[in-house]
Structure 1
Amino acid sequence: MNDDQLSLFDLTPPPRGRDDETNVSETDWPAEVRALGERLPAGVRFGTSSWSFPGWAGLVYRRPRTQAELAREGLREYARYPLFGTVGIDRSYYAPLTGEDLKRYAAQLPAGFPCCAKVPAMYASPVLPGSGRGAEALPNPDFLSAGGFLADVVQPFHLHFARHLGPFVLEIPPVPPEVRLDPSAFADRLGRFLDALPDSCPISVELRDRRLITPAYEAVLNQYGAAHVLNYWSAMPSPREQAGMLDVTRAPFTVVRLLLRPGTRYEARREDFRPFNRIVDQNDVLRRDVTRLISDATGRQQPVYVLVNNKAEGSAPLTIRALAEQLVAEMQL
């Protein structure tokens, strides 16, 4: 099973045991973590890509639990960890979440805790999901279909999850060379998609092909109030370099996603980093650059969402703690 995603488990809540997670309190975490969380700027929200990692016991979760247990009920405790102010819902990339899914998540979240859900691949991928892997890549007729996205995603979110709606992450995945998007045509198609969405649907666009970062793409984002995701990913420029390629000051918010060191492969990092409870590949340059991006955004009074994957350095919670410590230290200078 993919460690980065919420599994397609039966998510029926299990019977409550003697350790009732509804009693989670911030006093359950070390005083230094609580103090650090209190000193973070109000507009800065750190979070991770999903939350169902048993290796985080002792870091985020008070006791060992299985991945299935965390997928069902771990969000309740996750959302009360002092350094977390958001979370990435990556499971939604594989299929739209149902109303029951959203109600279950909402019941576990405190008021004012926004989540960043991925737009399903059925609307985000230029090719049919699953095609192009050892076989012909088939064009996806629903790519950037606003009507389908509104019906299958936006409507349920507004109905069942409006109080926890953060920026959607529209991740445009890489595709085989023979079916690569034309940058100009992509910008035009993205513009038509965004034009059909209501203002109450915040969108951030994550690219996995640097060719698509063009003046036309930037103009579309600015016209429709969408944000470019500053991602740390295998084949993309660094987040700092991306911020220099676009005018990020005009976006309504900043989204940073730290995923995978350039030049590395997902599967190898997963095997090397399990169980994700320690820093394995610390990147001081990345930490410095991200801290600066956060500081710049807060100086512009832009809300900031920083989502960290375990594959960035080995343990997303520990990377977040390091970033928070660096950010707070710089604020004191």
Structure 2
Amino acid sequence: MMQVPDSYPRKDQLERIERYDFRGIHQNIRFGTASDRYAGWIGQIYPASYATRTKKRTRKLAGVTYEERTVPIDSVVDYFQHFSVLEIDFTYYRPLVEEDGSPSSNTHVLQRYVDAAPDNARFILKVPNLFFSRRVMRRVEGKSKSVVNDDYLNRDKYLVQFHRPAIELVGDRLKGLLFEQEYQRKAGAPTSDQNVEELDSFFEAVPREVPIHLEIRSPHLLDEPYFDWLETCGLGHVFSHWTWLPPLRKQWRMSGERFTEADGEAMVRLLTPLKMPYAKAYAKTHPFDQVVQSVA
């Protein structure tokens, strides 16, 4: 009789997965999601009682308006009955502290998450694009335009407006910071050496209280000198399955088949299908209440 390898999922593990319980599948792997309050998850992640506690909002993508329904923040208690870690995405759009030193609206929302979450909750925070995007969207003469970001890699503002407040607010439940940089065409981007030099100047003075992971979405910048620099600094590469990035296997080869984060941790983000724009992927999966095979 053939012996089943220990690496195969056990029956009890498979039963838990059928219940959307992804905790404890492997001692060295934590499963979680980017954002969490989808009403489409009611009956899967969230109990039916949340059906009477949803809020509606609209979102426009590629000229199409969608209705989104969300459950309240205290649903995070039920979220952590299924997952081991939660990536907080809304911090990408605004710092925790305004330039005048006052707490931003994001601080109050994040505080509610921290207060509601169980003691064993683990959070990953997405760093505001204000500090890590070369270009940002701004209203110019009544229209939304991409402009040069004057605060790109502004270390002092980053530490005051996000890093230190995040550490203080989330405490030991903060398990990582995610720096995402937008896709840039090769013609208008810095060289690999220039990119590493800029990043090194910024990160050399950023404290390492928690693991830091970089998601650089420009494939031409993911070369050997970049990964060597990551390893030297103990920073992690985010293996991201995203529209214009190479497949994960190729990213692994590009990295020299190594995990560069100081503690040996790695972050994998399964986002959009390759070569599929976000708006198209969103249209295919909205309202996020079932598995859609064409993007799975």
User: Does the pair score TM above 0.5?
Assistant: yes
Cα distance in 1 for residues equivalent to 2:249 and 2:184? 24
Q: Taking structure 2 as the reference length, what is the TM-score of the superposition?
A: 0.77
User: Which of the numbers 182, 207, 221 marks the counterpart of 1:212?
Assistant: 221
- Specify the SS of the correspondent of 2:31: strand
* Mapped partners of 1:110, 1:136: distance in 2: 41
Task: State the AA in 1 paired with 2:54.
Answer: T
Deviations 1:1-31 (A, max 9, x none): xxxxxxxxxxxxxxxxxxxxxxxxxxxxx86
When the two chains are superposed, the root-mean-square deviation of aligned CA atoms in Å is 2.5
Matches within 5 A, 1:227-306: 227-247=236-256, 248-251=258-261, 252=263, 253-281=265-293
The answer to whether 1:72 aligns with 2:100 is no
Q: CA 1:76–1:39 in structure 2 vs 1: closer, same or farther (change >3 Å)?
A: closer
Cα deviation, 1:166-215, whole Å, max 9, x if unaligned, reads 22111110246663233221111111121111120421010211011122
Percent identical? 25
Residue 150 (structure 1) aligns with:
159
Task: Give the distance between the partners of 1:36 and 1:136, measured in 2 at CA.
Answer: 42
Q: Secondary structure at the match of 2:259?
A: helix
**Which residue in the other structure is 1:202 paired with?**
211
1:107 to 98, 115, 122: 115
Alpha-carbon distance change, 137 to 275 in structure 1, aligned in 2, over 3 angstroms: closer
Structure 1: give runs of 5+ residues left out of the alignment.
Answer: 1-29, 283-311, 314-333
CA contact 1:50–1:89 (8 Å) conserved in 2? yes
Q: In 1, are the aligned partners of 2:211 and 2:235 still within 8 Å (CA)?
A: yes
Q: Alpha-carbon deviation of 1:280? A: 1.6
Asked if the contact 1:52–1:67 (Cα under 8 Å) also holds between the matched residues in 2, the reply is no
Taking the aligned partners of 1:223 and 1:57, their CA distance within structure 2 comes to 44
Say if 1:121 and 1:100 are closer, same or farther in 2 by CA, change over 3 A.
same
Q: Partner residue of 2:32? A: 47
Q: How many angstroms does 1:59 deviate by?
A: 0.9
Paired AA for residue 79 in structure 1: F
1:174 correspondence with 2:183: yes
* Alignment-mate amino acid for residue 37 of structure 2: S
Contact 2:92/2:129 (<8 A) preserved: yes
**Structure-2 change in CA distance of 1:224 and 1:272 (3 Å):** same
- Partner amino acid, structure 1, of 2:92: Y
Deviates more, 1:247-256 or 1:43-52: 247-256
Partners of 2:77 and 2:135 lie apart in 1 by 36
Is the contact between residue 137 and residue 176 of structure 1 (CA under 8 Å) also seen in structure 2?
A: no
Q: 1:151 to 1:34 in 2, by over 3 A?
A: same
Alignment of structure 1 residues 131-142 onto 2, 5 Å? 137-142=146-151
Give the corresponding residue for 2:46: 61
Distance 2:242 2:145 in 1: 25
Q: Which stretches of structure 1, 4 residues or longer, exceed 4 Å deviation after superposition? A: 30-39, 134-137
Give the equivalent residue in structure 2 for 1:225.
Answer: 234
User: For the Cα contact (< 8 Å) 1:122–1:129, is it kept in 2?
Assistant: no
Question: Which one has a larger percent strand, Structure 1 or Structure 2?
Answer: 2
Aligned CA distance change for structure 1 residues 126 and 231 (closer, same or farther; 3 Å): same
- Structure 2 regions of 5+ residues with no counterpart? 1-14, 57-69, 97-105
CA deviations over 1:139-189 (Å, ceiling 9, x no partner): 212112221111111111121111221221111102466632332211111
Greater gyration radius: 2
Supply the distance in 2 between the matched residues of 1:276 and 1:35 (Cα, whole angstroms).
15
Distance in 1 between residues matched to 2:148 and 2:181, nearest whole Å? 14
Number of aligned residue pairs: 252
For 2:126, the equivalent position in structure 1 comes to 118
Structure 1 residue 114: deviation in Å? 1.7
- CA–CA distance in 2 between the matches of 1:131 and 1:174? 21
Amino acid at match of 1:66: T
What is the rounded CA distance, in whole Å, between the counterparts of 1:55 and 1:78 in structure 2? Answer: 13
1:183 counterpart = 2:192: yes
Residues 67 and 46 of structure 1, relative CA distance in 2, 3 Å threshold: farther
Q: 1:143–1:71: structure 2 CA closer, same or farther, 3 Å change rule?
A: farther
- 1:238 Cα deviation from its structure 2 partner: 1.1
**Conserved 8 A contact 1:112-1:163:** no
